[in-house]
Amino acid sequence: MKEVIYPGKEIVNGTVTTPKGFVASGIHTGVKEEGQLDLVILFSEKEAAAAGVFTQNLAMAAPVIISKEMIKNHHLRGIIINSGNANACTGSRGMEDAKKIQEATAKALNIKKDDLALASTGVIGVPLPMDIILKGIPVAVEQLSKEGGKDAAEGIMTTDTINKEIAVEIEVDGKTVTLAGMAKGSGMIHPNMATMLGFITTDADVEAEYLQEILQEVTESTFNMITVDGDTSTNDTVFVLANGMAENMTINASHPDRKLFKMALKQVSEHLAKSIVRDGEGASKFIEAEAVGFPTLQDARIAARTVLSSNLVKTAIFGGDGNWGRMICSLGYSGAPFNMDTIALTLGNGTSETIKVLDKGLPLDYDEAAVEKLFEDKYIRIIIEANNGPASAKGWGCDLTYDYVKINGSYRS
């Protein structure tokens, strides 16, 4: 499986507000501890085509329920996000609180409430501290600026340790088109239709229905191919806003540069997805699993995700133990079809060094000390060759460490 070469030229210090016509802010209201930003507004100066993908968790948070309705209009002007409190499992009060936030923010922005989506992240089952949030909304609106992207990326964080953001440029119809994104996520990462929270902006002119279509496709190969701990959140959401201020011809299913734009969207999404895994709670190693030669793309994706999700694989990699038996075991219960007589397994690291440990279903004579040395790297690769079809897929995960348990054993304290 060849490495994807992406088309976008990365913009140094780019943020979610780098595309034309986008502003943002991030402020502290008191939902989180003093000095931590916890209320964010992302706003487009013009109406933007909008697309979204959302969690499949049935314990869906109030802001997700509302935003799923808003996205049916295919257009938005902005999104308000709070961190520190998920507003999930909060019943009718949670829904009422989310609607109050939507209405108050829309009024302060002088837009219709249906032009505003919401997102929340943080502790589940605790009502929002509405007094301080409602007081903070006018402040956040007042502080909206082109320079607000960094504060916005910081303000959506919970257990994250770093901002996750990127901006790239491509050329469409002779116009410079910019795509940018920010995301948060560190734990409770095992997505189904999205990741923790992701927000992508572009000044491209894109048909809204086509934007929704390609976001769903791109999500399957990026945000849906990462795992930290096997938990799909109540609040998972990814939005894309496209305001058309680059003045290109509308990108749709027949535009000659549609593939270029889709690849740039994938570039932004994959960068954010990998950033989430690299910042996995307590993680010390980044793991890439590549499943090659499976009957269908879905089979290959299932194989890669299952190996990455195995706690036994994750702990072995944390301990520097090249216990490939755990990898084959997890592949065996994944549901992906393969013939044990044709399976091969190769282990690698970030410097392209590889050691094949299994071929045609049989263990090879290899240097165990060399594998242990390879596993000292912070970037571990697992290459599974089924030799059973044309499809391949990649996924990304991290190891499972003592620190993960420490972080999650005291998350609310």
Active site residues: 195
The answer to whether residues 289 and 397 touch, using CB atoms and an 8 Å cutoff, is yes
The answer to whether residues 63 and 102 touch, using CB atoms and an 8 Å cutoff, is no
How many CB atoms are located within 10 Å of the residue 34 CB?
Answer: 6
Q: Phi and psi of 265, rounded to 5°?
A: -65, -40
DSSP string, 338-407: --TTT-EEEEEETTS-EEEEEETTEE----HHHHHHHTTSSEEEEEEE--SSSEEEEEEEE---HHHHHH
Taking the C-alpha atoms of residue 172 and residue 255, their distance in angstroms, rounded to an integer, is 10
The answer to whether residues 172 and 263 touch, using CB atoms and an 8 Å cutoff, is no
Helix (H) or strand (E) holding 124: none
User: 243: which DSSP letter?
Assistant: -
Residue type, 103: E
How many CB atoms are located within 10 Å of the residue 75 CB?
Answer: 17
Taking the C-alpha atoms of residue 303 and residue 77, their distance in angstroms, rounded to an integer, is 39
Helix (H) or strand (E) holding 113: none
Taking the C-alpha atoms of residue 75 and residue 139, their distance in angstroms, rounded to an integer, is 25
Alpha carbon of residue 364 to chain centroid: 37
List the one residue out of 280, 288, 276 whose CA is nearest residue 238: 276
Q: What is the number of H-type helices and E-type strands within the chain? A: 11, 16
C-alpha atoms less than 13 angstroms from C-alpha of 284 in its C-beta half-sphere: 15
Taking the C-alpha atoms of residue 330 and residue 311, their distance in angstroms, rounded to an integer, is 10
Q: Order of strands, edge to edge, in the sheet holding 354-359?
A: 226-227, 391-398, 286-294, 379-385, 344-349, 354-359, 362-363
List the one residue out of 402, 407, 383 whose CA is nearest residue 393: 383
Taking the C-alpha atoms of residue 313 and residue 227, their distance in angstroms, rounded to an integer, is 13
User: 206: which DSSP letter?
Assistant: B
